[in-house]
Amino acid sequence: MLQITVWDVQHGSASHIRTPNNRHMAVDLGDDGDNFSPLRHLHASGVGYLDTVVITHPHRDHMDDIANFHLLSPHTLWTPRHLLEADIRKGNRTADSGVVDQYLAVRQGYTSSVPATHDITAPANFGGVNFSVFVPSQCDVANLNNHSLVVVASYAGLKIVIPGDNEAPSWKELLKNPAFVAAIRDTDVLLAPHHGREAGYCSELLDEMVKLRLVIISDGRFGDTSATGRYGYRASGWEVYDSTGYKEKRYCVTTRCDGTITVKFGWQNPANINEGSYLNVTTSKENPAKWASVLKSLGGY
């Protein structure tokens, strides 16, 4: 199966992708600012190295874990290469200069061409998973969010879109690209851009996602996730299992309330793909609405 884990890193973003042939990718390098580092966790869990790391854009909440980058010796690195060092430094707070320095040093170490065996756009390299990476580059560099890379991964007839902090201007730029529109058309799961904030919401983008089932929001306790309800309204819903095995149809899940979220795509019967695929979504916390739903089913209110 293809497994995507959206880590609970509070106000940040960090995802891990494990492909059917056991290759590993990270999309963004947030940590929770306290005790949890996704990269240290993967290393301790026996992941020896990462095939690919994607840092969607150089803001601290998407690269705080870069101090542990060396633990997993990534083979390839994707970043918005068109951004100059001056753009990156200007687009970050002075207080974050240490993390920016580490990012620039890591980026400088990945200047050679990608070996054919690690090209993520070749499905044969990653167990049949089709990856596409789209790069908006025409927006004003004063807002680095609008230069965030967008990762699209599809397998077993199912698809997830993992952006950075893209806001409406970058979405409108990408939507002029027919290849991007075709890639996102049949999205099943969306990781909401910019932590579910209103600034990242783009109705034209969601209009193109004609079969969207579920939206995941990576957010912290004190973050502005004002568009959560709007995302939930646009999704058709899917059964989500909480940490106790309780399942409920959900339209939107958040790391703030649901913890780490794991999405699995696979074939019902790998020997006969005509039997169709499955989409499984689980959370690491108990569904906060569980007992209200149980009471309602029992006639409690």
Taking the alpha carbons at both ends of the chain, their separation in whole angstroms is: 41
The total number of structural domains that make up the chain: 1
DSSP letter (8 states) at residue 183: H
CB of 99 within 8 A of CB of 105? Answer: no
- The parent domain of residue 135 ranges over 2-297
Note the pLDDT of residue 299: 54
Q: Tens-digit pLDDT profile for the chain (301 aa)?
A: 999 999 999 889 999 999 999 999 999 999 987 889 999 999 999 999 999 999 999 999 999 999 999 999 999 999 999 999 999 999 999 999 999 999 999 999 998 888 888 889 899 999 999 999 999 999 999 999 999 999 999 999 999 999 999 999 999 999 999 999 999 999 999 999 999 999 999 999 999 999 999 999 998 876 666 788 899 999 999 999 999 999 999 999 999 999 999 999 999 998 888 889 999 999 999 987 776 665 555 554 4
CATH number at residue 286: 3.60.15.10
* Six-digit token string for 108: 């400088």
Residues 6+ apart with CB under 8 A from 248: 239, 240, 242, 287, 289, 290, 293
Question: In 3D, which of 220, 274, 2, 279 has the Cα closest to residue 131?
Answer: 2
Question: What's the rounded Cα separation, in Å, for the pair 243 and 238?
Answer: 16
CB of 166 within 8 A of CB of 175? Answer: no
CB of 55 within 8 A of CB of 29? Answer: yes
Note the pLDDT of residue 118: 86
Beta strand ranges found along 48-139 (DSSP E): 52-54, 76-78, 130-134
